[in-house]
Structure 1
Amino acid sequence: MPSMTTELMKTAAQENLGAHIEKELEKEALKGLINPLQVWITSASALACYNLIPILTSGEVFGPHMEISINLFDNKQAEEKLTSLVKEAQDLASPFLQSVSACTQAEEAFRQAHVIIFLDDHVDKEVYSLEDCIRSKATLCHLYGSLIEKNAHDSVRIIVGGKTFVNLKTSLLMRYAPNFAHNIIAVALGVEGKAKAALARKLKTTPSRIKDVIIWGNISGNNYVDLRKAKVYRYESAVWGPPHYSRPVLSLIFDSDWVNREFVESLKKFTATGRQFGGILAAHSIATTLKYWYHGSPPGEIVSLGVLSEGQFGIPEGIVFSMPVKFENGTWVVLTDLEDIEISEQIMTRMTSDLIQEKLVALGELINFQPYQSETDLAKEDEKTTLPTTNDNREHCKVSDGHT
């Protein structure tokens, strides 16, 4: 085979170089479209944000090839704290953090935001009625919704976390930012984590080995912790199996009184006050939900998530309700094909009544909020399958996120 002439070699080299440069330019152009990811955090002076920043900048949430810019949004009174937080975030010297900045001007909020994380808004003074507290959420969400519509990127993903009126705020944001309603979700993993930890202590195992605990209803209020699908893996007992082998949680807890009293009461207290919902748990719940949203949830696992109801499981349409889902392909799918998880009409009414009333009060269509009162002791309705917790959210009007 005759050797390639010098001129031909030069020509081929130039063509290869040109193709390589063109490919690199295309890669850089594509990178410019998605990098850095603009992440906005509201009420950023809250303790949850302090714990959230190191997780977001670790590369675990958005992936090792994604740089992010963090924008900390809060009111003018928090400016000094935000400045300090910016410096601490910069000190991390994270290769995934391109920039971090503070914003106290509402009109600038959420500019080109790809991700918006809503933490609990501050309570600067005690609100004297539950109704005033609820109506204040509508005012705030109306402001935030208009800013999202005006400033956010077309592909923005919005996640609502915290311990105060989570479902209500998610619903109101959907109303006031209608173009992005399909991409707004509420975090329920905090309650799920508390339930798993309590079960793990009882079973003398680790919380990460407990899967498929379902949180139904109002994440920060009248919810229902369902153990009918709950499993424990690698449980040390006479029956042992490979890593994928699991056993039903309810078959291993023989103390039904504990399940229906102590367990229920501990979760009821948690959702009623939120006092144990510290910055670490809030940050981890938000970050894990975001990670699942971007990269998918573990195959085969049930995840609890607050989403807009379309009538699944007999839930009234148009309210944000925590239900079982899985994340895949950058979105979530409600697991309507699960067997034997029907919810009685009485329990459904108990869970939905407060959510519907909260929304009506927030919108000025109802003057007084009346917490739902059951005529029977729901804790005794089914001792082995479902576990109720209840709360009227009054405590949430008296405490702020991470500032007490």
Structure 2
Amino acid sequence: MAKFVLAGKADCPYYAKAELLADALRRSLPNFRVHNISVLPDEWKEWLESTCQRNGWKHDESPLVWRELVEQGGKGMLLGGFSDFLDYCQDYYGITSDMSTDVAETIAAENLETRSSLAAEELRRPSLTQPLHVWITGALSSTCQILIPSLLSAEAFPGVAAVALHLLDLEGDEEDMQRLKTEAEDLALGVLHQVTVHTNLDEAFHEATVVLLLDDFAEDKGDETTEDRKRRAMRMCERYREYGRLIDGRASRQVKAIVSGDSFVNLRCSLLVENAPSIPSHQFVATASQLESEARAVVAEKMNVRPSDVTGVIVWGNISGSSVIDLQRAKVFNYRGAVRGPASFSQSVLQILQDRKWVETEFQQQVRRRRAFVVSKAGRAAGISAANGILRVLKAWHGAYGQDEAFSLGLLCTGLFNLPNDVLLSVPVTCVDGKWSVLLDVTVDGKLQEELKLCADELRQEKEI
């Protein structure tokens, strides 16, 4: 697949010729893609110098044409100006341009008028629309890239007219971040107000109304030592303490923050709570939806049904550490057993299985192995299921589900189930009118109490690193 970028002064006739030539290629070649960047004349020099300096190119005229290396990755390949692009198209595709200079100048004048109008509209738009400011950390993760299109849809933020997307990755390469920005803009979704990219904390979390925290310092190397893990945890703690302080000082008082990932999920969320004292703690949550979905998939495989046929699974404890998968409320639909009913008929999973040993041992182990298996095969975190879990929590937070829909969510559980007040644990909850409520009609027996105490002790030890 070929993807070209054409950039030029809005009033440049050669830029107009390059645009028309690219349009001809697009009509002739189904896999040919092009992204146009029209720059106002008084901004062109600064834009060109900045782009060439970032990429190590030398070019001093309009237009600037380069090819994105879609398959290989890495920075783009500079082609040059219009004549270079024309030669390239003639040699590789057998397509040329016969546009006269008069026609090109007319189109260039139209381009300038259009670009000037767009610039004026961009300046005017902020005064007309108050966007929802969504910040995502760890923006170059696969989870973020899967998540972006759904965040710009009505299902994630019903009733929201505009979303300002702010992408932050402190380890991110500037070119990769700009490419992500371009891809998000190329979605051309009406709700998208603007996209900004950041590789430092100078502007982080300004006016944030939603914060999705995806940089979790996960480590996939099997030879990590105790000291390596300790250093990794210390880096994570330092970063999330700073995140908490910045959110406390810069974000909206109604901010909603969701922590997701494969490591230190509860701890990362609790560090935000501790370092953002002016924001209510219930506005910070750690999602266990991914682990909950993986547990449903294991149960479904055991019972020969679809994962969507299994509901009511609960995740207790430390989401990315010592957790307990509880099936006391789990139901199964469409199970082909001795007792059957209509599509709405459900049965208790525990009553059907009647295998306490499998539930308490092998089942718990299979759930933990499932994500490790996906990571080992894909070579990266399980982005699709993580993104789906975040969306499910966001939709609940914005009223998409009723009070009968239960979730597993990490939050502070002050005064509940005899749990420690200072530890953030995953518990079953519902969401009504944008507020989370812990489910109380569950059985927390002595065995589960002991397991939750062990989870709390584990989290306290993580804090002391």
Name the TM tier (shorter chain).
0.7 to 0.9
Deviation at 1:98, TM superposition (A): 2.0
Q: Which of 432, 437, 442 is equivalent to 1:328?
A: 432
Deviation sequence 1:178-222 (CA, Å, 0-9, x none): 112331111010110000011111111111121111100000000
Q: 1:273 to 1:315 in 2, by over 3 A?
A: farther
Distance in 1 of aligned mates of 2:216 and 2:437: 29
3-state SS of paired residue (1:112): coil
Q: Does 1:101 align with 2:196?
A: yes
Q: Does 1:342 align with 2:445?
A: yes
Partner of 1:292: 396
Q: Which of 233, 245, 251 is equivalent to 1:152?
A: 251
Q: Is the 8 A contact 2:217 2:263 kept in 1?
A: no
User: What percent identity do the matched residue pairs reach?
Assistant: 37
Q: Does 1:241 align with 2:360?
A: no
Distance in 1 of aligned mates of 2:232 and 2:154: 37
3-state SS of paired residue (2:197): strand
Between 1 and 2, higher relative CO (CA 8 Å, sep ≥ 6) is seen in 1
Q: Which of 296, 315, 324 is equivalent to 1:224?
A: 324
Q: 1:227 to 1:100 in 2, by over 3 A?
A: same
Deviation at 1:280, TM superposition (A): 0.5
Normalising by structure 1, report the TM-score: 0.75
Partner of 1:87: 182
The one-letter code matched in structure 1 to 2:445 is E
Partner of 2:260: 161
Distance in 2 of aligned mates of 1:76 and 1:322: 29
Matches within 5 A, 1:233-312: 233-254=333-354, 256=356, 258-270=358-370, 275=375, 277-312=381-416
3-state SS of paired residue (1:327): strand
Q: Is the 8 A contact 1:215 1:224 kept in 2?
A: yes
Q: Is the 8 A contact 2:216 2:260 kept in 1?
A: no
Q: How many residue pairs get matched?
A: 330
The one-letter code matched in structure 1 to 2:289 is L
Deviation at 1:240, TM superposition (A): 2.5
Matches within 5 A, 1:150-229: 150-180=249-279, 181-229=281-329
Partner of 1:74: 169
Deviation at 1:243, TM superposition (A): 4.0
Partner of 1:389: none
Normalising by structure 2, report the TM-score: 0.66
The one-letter code matched in structure 2 to 1:340 is T
The one-letter code matched in structure 1 to 2:444 is I
Deviation at 1:247, TM superposition (A): 0.5
3-state SS of paired residue (1:58): coil
Deviation sequence 1:142-199 (CA, Å, 0-9, x none): 2111211222112111111111100001111111111123311110101100000111
Q: Is the 8 A contact 1:72 1:101 kept in 2?
A: yes
The one-letter code matched in structure 2 to 1:346 is E
Q: 1:116 to 1:32 in 2, by over 3 A?
A: farther
Distance in 2 of aligned mates of 1:299 and 1:155: 22
Deviation sequence 1:295-328 (CA, Å, 0-9, x none): 1534423210000120311211111100010011
Deviation at 1:113, TM superposition (A): 0.6
Deviation at 1:69, TM superposition (A): 1.4
Distance in 1 of aligned mates of 2:413 and 2:310: 27
Deviation at 1:122, TM superposition (A): 4.6
Distance in 2 of aligned mates of 1:113 and 1:257: 47
Distance in 2 of aligned mates of 1:44 and 1:202: 36
Q: Where does the alignment leave 5 or more consecutive residues of structure 2 unmatched?
A: 1-125
Q: 1:34 to 1:113 in 2, by over 3 A?
A: farther
Q: Is the 8 A contact 1:36 1:98 kept in 2?
A: yes
Q: Is the 8 A contact 1:326 1:333 kept in 2?
A: yes
Could you say what the CA RMSD is over the residues aligned between the two structures, in angstroms?
Answer: 2.5
Q: 1:257 to 1:146 in 2, by over 3 A?
A: closer
Q: 1:270 to 1:166 in 2, by over 3 A?
A: farther
3-state SS of paired residue (2:417): helix
Bigger Rg, structure 1 or 2: 2
3-state SS of paired residue (2:367): helix
Q: Is the 8 A contact 1:195 1:267 kept in 2?
A: yes
Answer with 173-182 or 247-256: which moved more: 247-256
